[in-house]
Homo-oligomer: A and B are copies of this chain.
Amino acid sequence: MPTPITIVAGVGPGTGASVARRFAKSYPVILLARNPENYESLAKEINSSGGKAVGISTDVSSEESLKNAFSQIEKEFPGAPAAAAVFNAGGKFVRKGILEQTVEEFTAGHEVAVKGAFIFSQKSLPLLLKHAEDKGAKYPPTLIFTGATASVKANALRAGFASAKFAMRALSTSIAKEFAPQGVHVAHAIIDGVIDIPRTKEWLKDQPPEAKIEADAIAEAYWNLHTQSKRCFTNEIDIRPMLEKW
């Protein structure tokens, strides 16, 4: 059986990059992002430090685009099973009242977070199943979805975000139940707090570091999910920084 790979959808300068770095310690990683600048330096970094990374420009909301991405994966790693697939793509969401937003603004995020999550699952699962059948596999194949506070709490002015995240959570559970008997471990992470990334640098500035989540720590939690045995699958975790109010 060829070396198993890890596929990360939604690589940017935050959780996605940290997850890619963490899994790259054990597997070649595929970095999917719409914009090449989101994966180029990361791929270079991983490749130059002993790992193996391949970036592919992909629009996860497009079946055609994901199909192409997976063809490229097959070309780069012929017959490779996937040890892990992480769906970390965000999507554009507005913070607006129901009457202040267009239908397109409402549905835009769903294209990525729901439809994209579905297509990504559909393309990844055959590779994950291949890993499940590999007697020599070290850990069960793992499909992880990155959720948010809004996955379980729908606030005013966040109808699009919350509905998309609720939907993705349901998708995760449905897939978990369908594929667990075949040995695929599916998990959903409720990231409840601000992640400490360049984009959020100015947020919570007056607070200590423990007010924000460390992206590397999320990656470590995902890795720990991945290493769980078939006799101990965790299908959902929440994650928040020490100083989060909830």
Residues on A close to B: CB < 8 A?
Answer: 63, 97-99, 103, 106-107, 110, 114-115, 118-119, 121-122, 125-126, 140, 150, 154-159, 162-175, 177-181, 183, 185, 196, 209-210, 212-214, 217-218, 220-221, 224, 228-246
Contacts and interface: CB of A to CB of B under 8 A. Distances in A.
Given A110-B110, A155-B177, A174-B158, A241 B232 contact: yes
Given A168-B163, A180-B244, A241-B230, A98 B121 contact: yes
Contact of A178 (B97, B175, B235, B240): B97
| Secondary structure dominating the interface of A | helix
Q: For the complex formed by this chain, how many copies does it contain in all?
A: 4
16 contacts: A98-B174, A99-B122, A154-B173, A154-B177, A156-B178, A157-B174, A159-B178, A177-B245, A181-B242, A183-B210, A214-B231, A220-B228, A221-B232, A224-B224, A230-B242, A236-B236
Nearest to A181: B243
Contacts of A106: 115, 118
A217 B229 contact: yes
A172 B159 CA distance: 8
Contacts of A166: 163, 166-167, 169-170
A212 B164 CA distance: 31
Contact of A156 (B150, B174, B213): B174
B114 A110 contact: yes
A170 B159 contact: yes
A173 B168 CA distance: 17
Contact of A98 (B122, B185, B229): B122
A46 B87 CA distance: 41
Given A103-B119, A175-B159, A239 B243 contact: no
Contacts of A174: 98, 154-159, 162-163
